[in-house]
Chains A and B, each alone.
Chain A
Amino acid sequence: MPIKKKSSVTTVKKNTSKVLQQSLLELIRVASTVLPEDVQRVILKALKKEEKNTTAEYALKIIKANIELAKKKSQPLCQDTGTVLFYVGHPVGFSQTIFTKACHNAIKEATAKGYLRQNSVDSLTGESQPDNLGPGHPSIHFHEHASKNLSISLMLKGGGCENVSAQYSLPYTPLGAGRDLEGVFKVVLDSLVAAQGKGCGPGVLGICIGGDRAHGHTEAKHQLLRFLDDKNPNPVLAKLEKRIVDSANTLKIGPMGFGGNTTLLGCKVTHLNRLPASFFVSISYMCWAFRRQGVELGSDFSIKKWIY
Chain B
Amino acid sequence: MNKYYGYQGVILRVNLTERTIKKENLDLDEALKFIGGRGLGTKILMDEIDPNIDPLSIDNKLIFITGPLSGTNTPTGGRYMVVTKSPLTGTVACSNSGGYWGAELKFAGYDGIIIEGKAEKPVYLNIVDDVVEFKDATTIWGKLVGETTTILEEVHGKKSRVATIGPAGEKLSKMSSIMNERGRAAGRSGVGAVMGSKNLKAIVVRGTKKVNISDSEKLKEVFSRCITKIRENGVTGQGLPTYGSAILVNIINENGVMPTNNFQQSYFDKAEEISGETLSEKYLVKKEPCFRCPIACGRYCKVDDIEGSGPEYETVWGFGSDCGISDLGAIIKANYWCNEYGIDTISVSSTIAAAMELYQKGYIKKEDLDGSPELTWGNSEAIIEWTKKIGECTGLGAKMAEGSYRLCESYGVPELSMSVKKQELPAYDPRGIQGIGINYATSNRGGCHVRGYMISPEILGLPQSLDRFSIEGKAEWTKIFQDFTAGIDSVGLCLFTSFALGADDYADLYNAVSGINISGNDFIEAGERIWNLERLFNLKAGIDPSQDTLPKRLLEDPIAEGPSKGCVNKLSETLPEYYKVRGWSEEGLPTEERLEVLGIKEYM
Partners in one complex: no
Point out residues on A near B: beta carbons under 8 Å.
Answer: none
- Residues of B that sit less than 8 Å from A by CB: none
